[in-house]
Each structure stands twice: as C-alpha cells, then as structure tokens.
C-alpha cells in the first residue's frame, strides 16, 4: 500500500511537471540534436534491434546491464567480460541514458553483447514498453540512475535488481534522509546492493536499507583494463593520429567549461618559461588581457619546444570554442581532425595544443602521455576516473573536486601516485616539476599502477552476487 501511495505522488509530480513545462520541453527536444535523436528510443517507440542494427531475433531472458553515461559504460567493460565468462549461454544487453554513453557502448561492446539500447524515460508506459521487450532475468544498474517506476516494474515482474558499485557521500546521505520514507522504499526495491567501501555500508544502513541486502564488494573501477599495446602498437597509434614524437606529452582528459582557462593559463606560463629566445617582456609585449591569460603580441608566438598539450573536452562539440580560448591565450591550437588534414597537406605548422574533437580515444591517449590531468576536478563537477591513467602507470594530476572518486583520490594521494592542485599556479608548478624531473613522474606512475593492481577483486565479488540473485 505504501509503495502505491509513493508511486501515485511521484507520478503526479512527474505529470504536473510535464504539463507545466510542456511548452518548453517540445522546443528543447526539437532544437537539441542529442535529445531529438534519443527521444523516440527512450520513449520505447523504437525497439532495441533498430538501435543496434542487429536482427529482430528474440533475445530470451538476458542479463540487462545499465550504465548511465560514459564513465559507467567504461566501468562496465570488465563486468560484462566477467558475466560472459560466468554465464556463457545467457545473452547480455547493455543500456545507456545519454547519446555519448550509447555511442561509446556501441564502439566498445557491439561485438560483445546481444543488443545495446537506450534506457527508457521513467514514465510508466515507457518503462513497460521497453521492459516487456527485453524481459530480463536479472537487472544490474551501475552506480546511479535509480528510478521508482522502473524499479517497481521489475518488482512486479519478479526480476531481481542489483545496484553495483554503490556509494553514498555524507552530503547525499543528508539529502536522502530528508525523504527517509521514500528513500527506504526506493532502495528496498533492490535485491542486492554491492557497496564500494565499509563507510558506504554504514551510510546505507543509516538510510534504512536492510543489512542482508548489502554486500561489500569494493570498487569495480579498480578493474579498469589497460589496452594491450606493445611499444609498436603505441607507435602505430601515434601514426594513426599523426602525432609527432614530442619529447613530452600532457593529456588533459574530460575537461569541462571553465576548466580549460585554468589549464591554458598554467600551460602558457610553462611555454613562456621554456622560450629560449631571451626576449624581455617589454620587447615582446607580454601582458594580460580580459581573459586573464599572459599572452604575446599578435606578431609573436611561443615556438614549440618539445612539449605538447592534448586537450580532450568531455563534450567534443566544444572543441571549436576551446580552440578560441587557446587563441586568446596566444597559443597555436588545432583540433585533431584539422591537424590530421594539415599533415596530409604537407604543412610544417606544428601546434602547441591539440584539441580532440572525437570520442572513444582518451584511454589510448593516456598510453602515449607523460602526464595525465583528470578533468572535471578544477570545476565543481566531481572529477572523472583517474584509474584509466593509472592503468598505464602515468603520474596523475587533478583539481580540488574529486568527490565522485573520493576513495580512489585518497588512495592515490596517500600512495604518492597523484598530486592535487587548486589553481593555475599550483598546476603550473606541478607541470614544471614532472616535466623537469622524469624520475619523480616515473615513481608516481609506478605507485598509481600498484594501487590499481592491489585493489582489484570487486568484479569477482559482484559476479558472485549476481549468481546468488539469479538463484533466488
């Protein structure tokens, strides 16, 4: 009875919001290519087979793994591999909620799972349409994207549902506790919750989740798989991207708006310090502009001196605006596609900065980096997964906000595998230290890889929990 009241209030709120915002929602969908391209799929109108281009042959009682966006999709890779090994005759379906997450899933999983689908909107008819089509034997949700109507549908179909790699911060705990009755009902819909740490177990218990539903499994992101690349393969990857063999390469991965300005400020100071011409500030016109960058007059440009910065915006569509920021900083930048075209035209122009305007290659870029900066951390975005760089034994830098990876952050800092910076000054100093002292960076990278290896084991525990769910 309580769950029916909860769902009634929840759906009433959803309906009110749709009615109130309908006049804004339709133009938003029509003017946004991302939303327009995913809308019919997430409504459940277009079936999964149309999304993957696979045959319409029925997929019976699969294990359905859901990953919200890019980070969760990449974390799903070793989990999917382990599930395939444990359940060789059971088909697997992978879903994502965002277009970027879906494209990454297609790129990495198209030959590994039976279908790749979009997760439905949490409206009763959308959930029912997609849920009935897939008809899973087990539902696995990675970390987040918890929706009441979806969970209730799975309960009515007696489908066990797992929440894996679950964590909850103290701030999130306080927010959930304000809605304690509803939170307890929502988390009570999970058959099993696989928890990252003992502290998270304690917080879930404080939310009212039964201890018998909780399993301490660890963090599956420590199972990040490095790409098996020999030195020859790395060189081939360089050649494919047409990146020259610079002495030092810094990769800033998954950067967000506002973050590139700080990174470029620090990088510009580094390039100015490297400049061997010895021209005094008064002669070359170094000064500040409204953007806050130290720059050169337009007739001057800092010559490339063996270091390259590769910026990888979280949203590749921002590449053009990021290039404009580079121009304002007096730095010569090209997008990766422009650079590849430029090389084909036999131009001798070598940029100071490459801006990646495609998806799916960040992990490989960490393989050729000498330093890895983790984006989403100099602005309040919670950071991104530093273990992708640790898998290649790279020294790691990140900003003050790594709240989404707090446990990993603490382990890396404690092991002297990462440096946390706060602004352009400290980032510049970290760049300078690592670029001028290779042995220091090598030791940091070794420590990062060691942390990654010694914390593995979460995937095996999670798959064991999945076996028990299917047997219930």
- Supply the pLDDT for residue 55: 45
User: Average pLDDT, stretch 421-425?
Assistant: 96
CB distance 413 to 380 below 8 Å: no
Q: For the chain, what are the domain ranges?
A: 38-224+457-471, 231-454
- Supply the pLDDT for residue 230: 54
- Supply the pLDDT for residue 285: 41
Tens digit of each residue's pLDDT (9 = 90 or more) over 38-66: 777 887 777 654 445 444 566 789 999 99
Res. 177: pLDDT tops 90: no
Q: Could you tell me the pLDDT band of residue 29, with boundaries at 50, 70 and 90? A: low
Residues linked to residue 372 through DSSP beta bridges, in sequence order = 251, 396
CATH architecture of the domain formed by 38-224+457-471: 3-Layer(aba) Sandwich (3.40)
Q: Could you tell me the pLDDT band of residue 296, with boundaries at 50, 70 and 90? A: very low
User: Average pLDDT, stretch 272-294?
Assistant: 46
**CA 11/CA 9 separation, integer angstroms:** 6
Interacting residues of 384 by C-beta distance below 8 A, sequence separation 6+: 71, 253, 254, 314, 374, 375, 376, 377, 404, 405
- Supply the pLDDT for residue 287: 39
User: Average pLDDT, stretch 257-268?
Assistant: 96
Please give the model's pTM, rounded to 2 decimal places: 0.78
**CA 143/CA 219 separation, integer angstroms:** 10
Tens digit of each residue's pLDDT (9 = 90 or more) over 209-262: 999 999 999 999 898 665 555 555 777 888 888 877 777 899 999 999 999 999
Q: Could you tell me the pLDDT band of residue 2, with boundaries at 50, 70 and 90? A: confident
Long-range contacts of 429-435 (CB under 8 A, 24+ apart): 430/397, 431/250, 431/266, 431/267, 431/270, 431/371, 431/397, 432/270, 432/273, 434/370, 434/371, 434/395, 434/397, 435/248, 435/270, 435/307, 435/370, 435/371
Out of 39-43, 453-457, 461-465, least confident range:
39-43
Res. 26: pLDDT tops 80: no
- Supply the pLDDT for residue 270: 86
Phi, psi torsion values for 33, nearest 5 degrees: -65, -35
User: Average pLDDT, stretch 124-147?
Assistant: 92
- Supply the pLDDT for residue 280: 40
Interacting residues of 45 by C-beta distance below 8 A, sequence separation 6+: 129
User: Average pLDDT, stretch 87-111?
Assistant: 90
Q: Could you tell me the pLDDT band of residue 180, with boundaries at 50, 70 and 90? A: confident
CB distance 263 to 418 below 8 Å: no
Domains 38-224+457-471 and 231-454 share a fold: yes
Q: Homologous superfamily of 231-454 in CATH?
A: Glycogen Phosphorylase B; (3.40.50.2000)
Active-site annotation holds for 210: no
Candidate ranges 90-94, 179-183, 184-188, 350-354; pick with highest mean pLDDT: 90-94
Task: Using alpha carbons, select from 84, 140, 138, 137 the residue that is nearest to residue 114.
Answer: 84
- Supply the pLDDT for residue 279: 39
- Supply the pLDDT for residue 35: 65
Out of 55-69, 147-161, 200-214, least confident range:
55-69
- Supply the pLDDT for residue 374: 98
CB distance 29 to 38 below 8 Å: no
Dump strand ranges (E) for 56-167.
63-67, 92-96, 115-118, 138-142, 161-166
Res. 10: pLDDT tops 60: yes
Out of 146-150, 268-272, 351-355, least confident range:
268-272
Q: Could you tell me the pLDDT band of residue 188, with boundaries at 50, 70 and 90? A: confident
Q: How high is the mean pLDDT of the chain?
A: 84
- Supply the pLDDT for residue 56: 53
């Amino acid at each position: 009875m309580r769950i029916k009241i909860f769902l009634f209030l929840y759906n009433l709120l959803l309906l009110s919001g749709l009615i109130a915002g309908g006049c804004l929602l339709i133009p938003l969908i029509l003017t946004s290519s991302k939303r327009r391209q995913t809308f019919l799929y997430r409504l459940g109108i277009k079936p999964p087979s149309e999304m993957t281009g696979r045959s319409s042959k029925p997929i019976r009682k699969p294990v359905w793994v859901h990953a919200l966006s890019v980070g969760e999709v990449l974390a799903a890779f070793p989990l999917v591999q382990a599930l395939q090994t444990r359940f060789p005759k059971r088909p697997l379906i992978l879903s994502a909620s965002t277009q970027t997450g879906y494209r990454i899933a297609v790129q990495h999983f198209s030959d590994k799972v039976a279908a790749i689908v979009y997760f439905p909107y949490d409206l009763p008819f959308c959930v029912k349409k997609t849920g009935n089509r897939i008809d899973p034997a087990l539902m696995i949700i990675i970390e987040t994207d918890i929706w009441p109507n979806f969970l209730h549908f799975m309960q009515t179909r007696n489908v066990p549902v797992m929440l894996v790699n679950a964590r909850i911060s103290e701030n999130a705990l306080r927010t959930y506790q304000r809605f304690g009755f509803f939170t307890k009902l929502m988390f009570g819909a999970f058959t099993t919750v696989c928890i990252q740490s003992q502290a998270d177990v304690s917080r879930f218990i404080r939310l009212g989740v039964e201890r018998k539903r909780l399993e301490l499994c660890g963090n599956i992101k420590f199972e990040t798989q490095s790409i098996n690349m020999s030195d020859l393969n790395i060189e081939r990857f360089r050649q494919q991207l047409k990146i020259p063999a610079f002495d030092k390469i810094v990769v800033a991965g998954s950067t967000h708006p506002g973050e590139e300005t700080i990174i470029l400020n620090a990088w510009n100071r580094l390039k100015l310090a490297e400049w061997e011409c010895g021209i005094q500030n008064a002669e070359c016109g170094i000064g500040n502009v409204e953007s806050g960058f130290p720059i050169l007059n337009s007739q001057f440009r800092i010559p490339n001196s063996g270091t390259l910065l590769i910026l990888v915006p979280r949203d590749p569509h921002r590449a053009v605006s990021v290039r404009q920021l580079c121009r304002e900083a007096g730095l010569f930048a090209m997008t990766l596609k422009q650079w590849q075209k430029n090389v084909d035209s036999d131009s001798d122009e070598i940029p100071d900065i490459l801006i990646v305007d495609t998806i799916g290659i960040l992990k490989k870029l960490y393989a050729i980096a000498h330093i890895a900066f983790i984006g989403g951390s100099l602005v309040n975005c919670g950071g991104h997964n530093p273990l992708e760089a640790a898998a290649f034994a790279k020294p790691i830098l990140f900003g003050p906000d790594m709240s989404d990876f707090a446990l990993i952050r603490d382990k890396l800092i404690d092991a002297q595998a990462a440096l946390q910076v706060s602004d352009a000054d400290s980032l510049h100093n970290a760049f300078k230290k690592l670029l001028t002292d290779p042995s220091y960076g090598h030791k940091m990278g070794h420590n990062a890889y060691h942390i990654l290896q010694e914390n593995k084991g979460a995937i095996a525990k999670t798959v064991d929990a999945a076996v028990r769910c299917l047997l219930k």
